[in-house]
Amino acid sequence: MSRLSAVKPAYWISGVLLAISIVVPLLVSTYAKDGPRLWGFPFFYWYQLMWVFISAVLISICYRLVSAEERKRRAAQGLGDPDRPAQAKEADQ
């Protein structure tokens, strides 16, 4: 079996979302214009600012996907939940 098949869909989705948040703002031809204006601001400025917020949302989605996948992986290996405090782990033993 190839190592490529071992990669979970959550990692693929996260990679695509991260690539979108990096590549799209670098495509200068999409925003190198003055209009339409929003509250007097040229398109260039409000488009770039919009991508700051979109990227923050996409990165938070990626974080949640990867965290959930890592939690599942750790549970399958019997390592427990990494978010659980150490005191609670000691009390169980």
Write the pLDDT tens digit of every residue in 31-77: 777 788 888 888 888 888 899 999 999 999 999 998 888 888 788 77
pTM score above 0.85: no
Q: Say if 21 falls within a structural domain.
A: yes
Instruction: Give residue 64's domain range.
Output: 8-92
Within-domain flag for 3: no
pLDDT value for 81:
62
2 occurs within a structural domain: no
Containing 75, the helix (H) or strand (E) segment is helix 43-76
The residues that bridge with 38 in the sheet, in sequence order, are: 41
Into how many domains does the chain fold?
1
Rounded distance between C-alpha atoms, residue 73 and residue 14, angstroms: 16
